[in-house]
């Protein structure tokens, strides 16, 4: 009897063994699939799937299992999904996150469980500053940085006064703070509009105020479909030519096809800043942009580029420890080196695990086939670190 | 005070009010006459926008798109009444809410399957895309002026229909005392179907007017339908006049709140707090108004005369 039990136990152990040793890398990817903001999520998921093709579905000899979850543009839902990924699926990496408020609501669930948390977009100031964490990495930027670059551009273009508009949530406030950090002129008016699932999309009142304010320029931050709506109304309100438009995270390859479809030429020549562009010249970016256009027939957005980078960053970590996913310290050290091919070219991580990288000025142009896209004009900030890094005790 | 800006913002508020009226008109008739709570009214608004977007693409003309999409939306409304709503008149409000909430999910998913999740832009012809100079050198987008004009036109038509035609008489009678109308031998089923289809066309029309500004997208009706309910509650359920007045009040409050509340708040709080709380407060203002109306005049501002 005793023998039988030990034999059974041994058999059980044998059967269980492969399941216990990590035989695959589990990545939970949280983004917005439903709601109109799902367009962004789709772009990210497409990029992740492209990365999966390009790495043959393997990292460091292990199969990769990808679990995609929808946060519904809603912080409590995002947190629920991260709880599920951590507890039920027991993933090794939690990645994704378009929205700062969703990331802030979800971070505790992932970090308390000792998982790696990688933001493929959102860069709230809290996570760069006093709430930084050894297991959190950003594959994007800190929210303030891109508008800081824009503030510099405004200075260089001799803009003396600006009217600013952004959605009323964590990132919107960071973005405005970013412009204020570097812009030397006067901010004559500020509008924070309703955001979330029932976000305000009609900006008639705000644009009328901007026009009446007598500002030299209008600066906006409206990610996703709100961006297209805003630019359309900007043109309909007759602001084109009267109030030059400067944007961050608003005019991208998600908004541009819509604007081209509606033939809103007003956006041509408008300026925006970004850490990346589809025409940025490095081998990884060429491979990514060409691959993405071939597979999906459109330009990738910066969301896509960052998601693609996320996958290669995870791959570099898994390879550094030869697939031993229990070696968290080894993986953390590997990621910290930023030693992977990135679409933005070579960069390094700061003490708070946010990239120290270049920011470029981009202009909207038509490419050789007449498709509207952006072209990098010049480098605005070189090897730029976010302003919160000093508050991070790491 | 900048009176130029004030005038423009009044016009913007009027434009929002007109859109709300188009939605609320159908809603208040269906609620008032048939005693039917139709949460899916917003879906008809969305479907109108999508029909118009597709037809605009096919015909290369926004005007033709609207003209063709209007009967199509009415037809859809009629089908919804025939297939789903008709069976529910005898049930209570909870069943209405459940069934029409289900309809919302069906419509949203159908749009996702047919048109995809990305939404559709409606390009406007050049003569609608520009601005007009009003008195005093004020510039205002032509299309928003068109929205105001067409909304007021519809309101006038509705007024004539409800106040001066036999059909309108039946509708008013239905809103006051449905049983009596039936007892007098009116085919109430036909009347209900007609009212539902007309309401759907109005909602669809509102969707067609807003889509060139924002764009047609999934769930676009689900946010605005809440505001439309606020409008009909403030105005008095079943009353077209109430819906009109309340829609204008709500439109103006919302727009004026967004325009001037932050200036007002800055008088007694820090600029940063004022800027953060102003959008939240102006979003709340219409609900506060509704609460006040419910507290002091629960039947609404212009309730239909009963008996």
**Secondary structure of A151-191 in HEC code, one letter for each residue:** HHHHHHCCCCEEEEEEECCHHHHHHHHHHHHHCCCEEEEEE
Q: Which residues of A touch B117 (CB under 8 A)?
A: 34, 36, 38-39, 42
pLDDT of residue B247 exceeding 70, the answer is yes
Which of A167, A201, A236, A263 is most worth mutating to test chain B (most B CB atoms within 10 A of its CB)?
A236
Lowest mean pLDDT among A188-197, A316-325, B74-83: A188-197
A212 in contact with chain B, both atoms CB, cutoff 8 A: yes
pLDDT of the residue at B188:
83
Q: Does residue B196 lie within any of the structural domains?
A: yes
Band (B238; pLDDT cuts 50, 70, 90): confident
B1: in domain: no
Beta bridge pairs of residue A349: A355
- Residue pLDDT, tens place only, A139-178: 999 999 999 999 999 999 999 999 999 998 888 988 999 9
**pLDDT tier at A261, thresholds 50, 70, 90:** confident
Q: How confident is the model at residue A196 (pLDDT cuts 50, 70, 90)?
A: confident
Per the structure, the count of domains in chain B is 1
Contacts of B8 in chain A (CB under 8 A): 208, 212
Among candidate residues B262, B123, B2, the one with its CA nearest the CA of residue A165: B262
In terms of C-beta distances under 8 Å and separation of at least 24 residues, what long-range contacts does A183-186 make, across chains too?
A183/A151, A183/A154, A183/A155, A183/A159, A184/A155, A185/A154, A185/A155, A185/A159, A185/A160, A185/A161, A185/A216, A186/A160, A186/A161, A186/A162
Residues of A whose CB is below 8 A from B275: 190-192
Question: Do A192 and B141 lie within an 8 Å CB cutoff?
Answer: no
Q: Give the C-alpha separation, B198 to B194, whole Å.
A: 6
Q: How many degrees, rounded to 5, is the angle at CA B299 between CA B294 and CA B300?
A: 70
Query: Tens of pLDDT along B161-210?
Result: 888 999 888 888 877 777 888 888 888 888 889 999 999 999 999 999 99
Nearest chain B residue (CA) to A201:
B214
Q: Does B15 touch chain A (CB under 8 A)?
A: yes
pLDDT tens profile A222-248 = 988 788 889 989 988 889 888 999 999
pLDDT digit string (tens) for A29-48? 999 998 778 889 999 999 99
Give me the percent of chain A exceeding a pLDDT of 90: 77
Residue B281 neighbours by CB under 8 Å, 6+ apart: B257, B261, B265
CA angle B109, B113, B114 (to 5 degrees): 115
Please give the Cα distance from A54 to A143 (Å, whole number). Answer: 29
Count interface pairs A-B at CB distance under 8 A.
109
Q: Are B117 and A38 an interchain contact pair (Cβ–Cβ within 8 Å)?
A: yes
* Nearest chain A alpha carbon to B225: A198
Enumerate residues 6+ apart whose C-beta is below 8 A from B276. A168, A173, A192
Contact B8 A208 (CB under 8 A): yes
Q: Which CATH architecture has domain A145-274+359-391?
A: 3-Layer(aba) Sandwich (3.40)
Q: Report residue A354: phi and psi, to 5°.
A: -105, 145
Neighbour count for residue B105 (Cβ, 10 Å): 11
Of the listed ranges A135-139, A198-202, A309-313, the one predicted with least confidence: A198-202
Q: Which among B93, B116, B78, B2 is positioned nearest to B39, based on CA atoms?
A: B93
Q: Using a CB-CB distance cutoff of 8 angstroms, which residues of chain A are in contact with residue B3?
A: none
Distance CA A151, CA A381 (A): 11
Of the candidates B2, B121, B213, the beta carbon closest to that of A202 is on B213
Are B234 and B246 in contact by the 8 Å Cβ rule? The answer is yes
| Integer Cα distance of A377 and A382 in angstroms | 14
Q: ipTM score here?
A: 0.86
Is B94 buried (19+), middle (13-18) or exposed (0-12) by CB count in 10 A?
Answer: exposed
What is the spatial distance between Cα A135 and Cα A202, in angstroms, rounded to a whole number?
40
Contacts with B199 (C-beta within 8 Å, 6 or more apart), sequence order = B25, B26, B27, B29, B30, B41, B44, B77
Kindly report the average pLDDT of chain A as a whole number: 91
pLDDT > 50? residue A251: yes
Q: Which residues of A touch B125 (CB under 8 A)?
A: none
CATH number at residue B189: 1.10.3470
Is residue A49 scored above 50 in pLDDT?
Answer: yes
Q: Which residues contact B92 (CB under 8 A, 6 or more apart)?
A: none
Residue A298, class by beta-carbon neighbours within 10 Å (0-12 exposed, 13-18 middle, 19+ buried)? middle
Q: Where are the domains of chain A?
A: 2-141+281-346, 145-274+359-391
What's the whole-model pTM score? 0.84
- B8 vs A212: CB contact, 8 Å cut-off? yes
User: By C-alpha distance, which of A102, A134, A129 is closest to A117?
Assistant: A134
Give the pLDDT of residue B185: 86
pLDDT tens string B94-144: 999 999 999 999 999 999 899 987 788 888 888 888 888 887 778 899 999
Q: What region does A272 belong to: left with phi over 0, alpha with psi -120 to 50, or beta? A: beta
The answer to whether B214 faces chain A, any CB pair under 8 Å, is yes
pLDDT band at B307 (very low <50, low <70, confident <90, very high): very low
- The answer to whether the Cβ–Cβ distance between B210 and A202 falls below 8 Å is yes
Asked if A168's CB is within 8 angstroms of B12's CB, the reply is no
User: What residues of A are in contact with residue B130 (Cβ under 8 Å)?
Assistant: 238
Instruction: Sort out which chain B residues have CB atoms less than 8 A from A212's CB and list them.
Output: 2, 4-5, 8
Q: Does A268 touch chain B (CB under 8 A)?
A: no
Compute the nearest-CA separation of B237 from chain A (Å): 25
Q: How far does Cα B252 stand from its chain's mean position?
A: 15
Query: Token pair of A120, please?
Result: 């493929």
- The partner residue sitting opposite B9, judged by closest CB among A39, A194, A205, is A205
Residue showing tokens 């933001």: A119
* pLDDT recorded at residue A8: 52
Q: What SS3 class is residue B105?
A: helix
Question: B74 with B202: CB under 8 angstroms?
Answer: no
**Touching check for B28 and chain A: CB below 8 Å?**
no
Q: Which residues of A touch B280 (CB under 8 A)?
A: 168, 194
For the stretch A62-77, pLDDT in tens is 999 999 999 999 999 9
pLDDT digit string, tens, across residues B257-289: 988 888 888 888 887 788 778 878 888 899 999
Mean pLDDT across B221-242:
91
Spell out which residues of chain B touch residue A205, defining contact as CB-CB under 8 Å.
9, 12-13, 255, 258-259
Tell me if A264 sits within 8 A of A235, measured CB to CB.
yes
pLDDT in the model for residue B189: 85
Give residue A16's pLDDT: 46
Nearest to A229 among B131, B214, B222 (CB): B214
Q: Which residues in chain B touch residue A192, judged by CB atoms under 8 angstroms apart?
A: 275-276, 278-279
Domain range spanning residue B86?
Answer: 12-131+138-296
Closest among A190, A179, A177 to A153, alpha carbons compared: A179
Q: B183 lies in a domain?
A: yes
Write out the two tokens for B100.
């029409």
Residue A9 touches partner B, C-beta closer than 8 Å: no
Q: Looking at the domain covering A2-141+281-346, what would its CATH class be? A: alpha beta
Q: A158-193: buried (b, 16+ CB within 10 Å) or exposed (e) per residue?
A: ebebbbbbbbbbbbbbbbbebbbebbebebbbbbbb
How close does chain B come to A273, measured CA to CA in Å?
24
d(CA B202, CA B45): 8
CB contact under 8 A, B117 and A39: yes
Tally of CB atoms within 10 A around A60: 18
Q: Where are the beta strands (DSSP E) in A97-244?
A: 116-119, 136-138, 161-167, 186-193, 217-220
Q: What average pLDDT does this structure show over B42-54?
A: 96
Tokens of A360: 């470029």
Residue of B nearest to A199 (CA): B223
Is B304 part of any domain?
Answer: no
**Coil, strand or helix: which one is B210?**
helix
Closest partner residue to B118 (CB to CB) among A39, A193, A209 is A39
């Amino acid at each position: 009897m005793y023998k039988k039990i030990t034999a059974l136990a041994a058999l059980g152990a044998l059967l269980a063994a492969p399941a216990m040793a990590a035989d695959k890398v589990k990545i939970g990817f949280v983004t917005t699939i439903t709601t109109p903001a799902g367009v962004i999520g789709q772009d990210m998921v497409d990029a992740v799937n492209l990365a999966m093709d390009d790495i043959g579905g393997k990292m460091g000899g292990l199969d990769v299992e990808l679990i995609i979850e929808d946060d519904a543009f809603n912080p409590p839902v995002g947190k629920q999904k991260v709880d599920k990924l951590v507890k039920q699926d027991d993933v090794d990496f939690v990645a994704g996150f378009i929205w700062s408020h969703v990331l802030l609501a979800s971070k505790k669930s992932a970090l308390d469980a000792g998982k790696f948390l990688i933001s493929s977009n959102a860069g709230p100031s809290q996570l760069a500053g006093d709430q930084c964490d050894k297991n959190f990495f950003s594959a994007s930027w800190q929210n303030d940085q891109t508008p800081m670059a824009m503030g510099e551009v405004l200075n260089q273009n001799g803009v003396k006064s600006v009217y600013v508009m952004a959605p009323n949530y964590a990132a919107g406030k960071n973005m405005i703070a970013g412009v204020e950090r570097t812009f030397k002129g006067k901010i004559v008016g500020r509008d924070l509009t309703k955001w979330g699932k029932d976000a305000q999309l009609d900006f008639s009142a705000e644009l009328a105020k901007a026009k009446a304010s007598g500002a030299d320029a209008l600066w906006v931050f409206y990610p996703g479909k709100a961006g297209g709506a805003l630019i359309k109304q900007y043109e309909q309100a007759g602001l084109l030519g009267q109030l030059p438009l400067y944007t961050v995270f608003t005019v991208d390859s998600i908004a541009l096809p819509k604007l081209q479809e509606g033939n809103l030429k007003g956006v041509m020549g408008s300026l925006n800043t970004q850490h990346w562009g589809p025409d940025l010249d490095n081998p990884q970016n060429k491979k990514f942009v060409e691959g993405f256009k071939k597979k999906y027939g459109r330009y990738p957005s910066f969301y896509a580029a960052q998601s693609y980078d996320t996958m290669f960053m995870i791959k570099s970590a898994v390879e550094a420890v030869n697939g031993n996913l229990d070696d968290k310290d080894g993986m953390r050290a590997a990621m910290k080196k930023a030693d992977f091919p990135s679409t933005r070219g070579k960069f390094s991580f700061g003490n708070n695990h946010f990239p120290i990288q270049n920011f470029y000025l981009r202009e909207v142009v038509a490419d050789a086939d007449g498709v509207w896209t952006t072209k990098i004009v010049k480098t605005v900030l070189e090897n730029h670190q976010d302003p919160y890094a000093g508050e991070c005790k790491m | 005070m900048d009176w130029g800006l004030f005038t423009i913002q009044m016009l913007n508020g009027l434009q929002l009010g007109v859109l709300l009226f188009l939605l609320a008109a159908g809603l208040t008739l269906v609620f008032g006459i048939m005693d039917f709570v139709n949460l899916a009214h917003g879906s008809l608004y969305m479907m109108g926008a999508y029909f118009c977007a597709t037809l605009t693409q096919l015909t290369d003309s926004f005007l033709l798109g609207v003209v063709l999409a209007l009967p199509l939306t009415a037809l859809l409304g009629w089908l919804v009444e025939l297939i789903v709503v008709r069976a529910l008149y005898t049930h209570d409000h909870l069943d209405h809410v459940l069934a029409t909430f289900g309809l919302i999910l069906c419509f949203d998913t159908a749009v996702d399957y047919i048109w995809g999740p990305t939404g559709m832009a409606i390009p406007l012809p050049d003569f609608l895309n520009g601005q007009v100079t009003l008195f005093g050198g004020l510039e205002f987008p032509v299309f928003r002026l068109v929205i105001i004009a067409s909304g007021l036109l519809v309101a006038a038509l509705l007024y004539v229909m409800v106040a001066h035609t036999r059909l309108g008489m039946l509708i008013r009678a239905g809103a006051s005392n449905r049983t009596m109308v039936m007892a007098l031998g009116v085919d109430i089923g036909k009347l209900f179907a007609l009212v539902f289809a007309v309401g759907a066309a109005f909602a669809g029309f509102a969707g067609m007017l807003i889509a060139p500004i924002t764009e047609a997208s999934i769930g676009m009706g689900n946010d605005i339908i809440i505001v439309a309910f606020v409008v009909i509650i403030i105005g008095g359920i079943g009353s077209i006049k109430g819906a009109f007045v309340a829609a204008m009040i709500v439109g103006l409050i919302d727009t004026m709140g967004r325009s001037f509340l932050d200036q007002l708040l800055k008088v007694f709080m820090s600029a940063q707090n004022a800027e953060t709380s102003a959008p939240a407060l102006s979003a709340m203002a219409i609900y506060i108004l509704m609460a006040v109306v419910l507290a002091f005049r629960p039947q609404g501002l212009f309730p239909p005369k009963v008996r």
